[in-house]
Amino acid sequence: MRIEIVVFDGVDEMDVVGPFEVWGTAARMGRLELTLVGLDGPVEVTGMNGLQFRATDSLGNTNPDAVFVPGGGWGSRAEKGAWAEVQRGELPARLAELAPKLSWVGSVCTGSMLLAAAGLTKGRAATTHHTAWEDLREAGTDLKPNRVVDDGDLITAGGITSGIDLAFWIVERELDADLAAEIAKFMEYQPARDIWRR
């Protein structure tokens, strides 16, 4: 399984590094492939708290099986972050184009608002950071207040740290429950089991 994590200026750092820690461990074990990507090729971006990320490829270029979208900057309507990316429109358009070719698309926090802008959550079960629940509902989404919402090929997580729980759920669902348990033990983390499933 090949997963691309999209990064952009203003992204919430934990939205990226939490899932990356889980999937990166699985990647080191040879169980999946993981890449940070930018919208249009290799790029260095700065997160909302100043941490810099280097994306080594462009979205969709590595023939991914899945794409994961973080959030950040939605509630404050920041000039950089998920809100800004929705206003620009390019990232949601690319996600809409790419999604039918993927096994699943996922998000954490207000990354789900980028999926909503792409038309991917309309009429589907999903979640986001609690400060954006009403925005997600207004986009026609069947909001679920769980930490992780699994609607088949659409998998979303609530606020910030719940991306770690989503990452563990993906390892369990797509690879192996024993592998997920092994990684959790190594990380000294107890994944939350607040998972809504269709």
109 a catalytic residue: yes
Q: Which of 11, 45, 59, 109 is catalytic?
A: 109
Q: To the nearest whole number, what is the mean pLDDT of the chain?
A: 97
Report which of 9, 35, 1, 166 is spatially closest to residue 90, judged by C-alpha positions: 9
Chain Cα centroid distance, residue 24: 14
pTM of the shown model: 0.97
pLDDT band with cut points at 50, 70 and 90 for residue 9: very high
pLDDT tens string 71-129: 999 999 999 999 999 999 999 999 999 999 999 999 999 999 999 999 999 999 999 99
Angle CA 10–97–63, to nearest 5: 85
Report which of 77, 86, 95, 79 is spatially closest to residue 6, judged by C-alpha positions: 95
pLDDT the model gives residue 11? 98
CATH topology of domain 2-191: Rossmann fold (3.40.50)
Residues in CB range of 113: below 8 A, 6 or more apart: 71, 74, 82, 83, 86, 128, 132, 135, 136, 139
Annotated domain spans of the chain: 2-191
